[in-house]
Amino acid sequence: MSVTTRRVLLAKPRGYCAGVDRAVQTVEMAIERYGTPVYVRKQIVHNLHVVRSLEERGAVFVDENADIPPGSVVVFSAHGIAPDVRADAQQRGLQVIDATCPLVTKVHNEARRFAAQDYDILLIGHDGHEEVIGTTGEAPTRVRLVDGPEGAGSVDVRDPAKVVWLSQTTLSVDETTDTVAALRDRFPTLIDPPSDDICYATQNRQLAVKEIAGQSDLVLVVGSQNSSNSVRLVEVAKDSGAAAAYLVDDASEIDERWLEGVSTAGVTSGASVPEELVSGVLGWLAERGFDSVEEVEAIKERMSFALPREIRPPRTRDHAESHAAET
């Protein structure tokens, strides 16, 4: 009598990226330094469990600066803000700690630079996403949103010979490539950004899920529904050969019926997901016979970012500033 082996292919890299780790640490250190409450404008990162954990420690999440008492400490989320949000915070006398991911800041800088050169900026991204709102705010009269390849045909520009594309950092690499190709069909002289806008972590996690998808009957992506990069991982898994793929916040959201006929389950997580949630999913699967776990590493990841200047320990801040002055 043969015994069917049930295994898990665990993607690596997965989970926290450097920008998310930096943002979460920023809120934690702000609470330690200033006491509670520390206000956070929008979700610091798009993960329900992270937000709840920080709320339990004394963080108060709000939608707008108007919800924050004057003089309070506020942390801006990793997704970035428009300049008018920063100006409003200053006017209200808020103590600002900016946890915007440095890779998002890079896109903001590019938007300002190209706008100053009078380019129309074709921003590839999802309408309403906080990152898109922040980038658009850097040059609102010059940015034109393009939401996927289908949006390329309807975008209007002032001068077809003077256009550049930028992108939200958390998009599908493949879909963005398709969108750029569609835009270039319309605008042959379309300029590329100086460097890739899609963040290293988004690309690496998509590469990793591609490695396991073709061997998996089912892929479980741990992440929240409002996490763009997590949603994209589900799409990439399906496009890369997985018979089925689902997004779950944690093990409690897995439907046991999904395991019918499954011998290999792939597991990964979005860039804003703590590893403990992945461990919970692996434990849930192990209880149902998936007790053989093979980690599949697609690429090594060593990126890290310094904490925001406002929250660094004095010695670290002084050293960083001294080093910057020397270089």
Q: How far apart are CA 292 and CA 276, in angstroms?
A: 18
Which member of 130, 131, 138, 211 is catalytic? 131
Is 131 a residue of the active site? yes
Q: How far apart are CA 155 and CA 196, in angstroms?
A: 22
Q: How far apart are CA 304 and CA 19, in angstroms?
A: 8
Q: How far apart are CA 184 and CA 283, in angstroms?
A: 47
Written as six digits, the tokens of 216 are 């998996």
How many Cβ atoms sit within 10 Å of the Cβ of residue 214? 11
Q: How many CA atoms lie within 13 A of 237 on its CB side?
A: 33
Q: Please answer whether residues 273 and 285 qualify as being in contact, where contact means their C-beta atoms are separated by less than 8 angstroms.
A: no
Q: Please answer whether residues 99 and 305 qualify as being in contact, where contact means their C-beta atoms are separated by less than 8 angstroms.
A: no
CA distances from 70 to 31, 39, 89, 93, 169 (A): 17, 11, 9, 6, 32
CA dihedral (198, 204, 209, 211) positive or negative: positive
DSSP conformational letter for 190: P
Q: How far apart are CA 216 and CA 111, in angstroms?
A: 40
How many Cβ atoms sit within 10 Å of the Cβ of residue 186? 15
With H, G, I as helix, E, B as strand and everything else as coil, classify residue 288: coil
- Cα 28 to its chain centre, rounded Å, is 19
Helix H or strand E encompassing 164: strand 163-167
Q: How far apart are CA 38 and CA 58, in angstroms?
A: 7
Active-site annotation, residues = 131
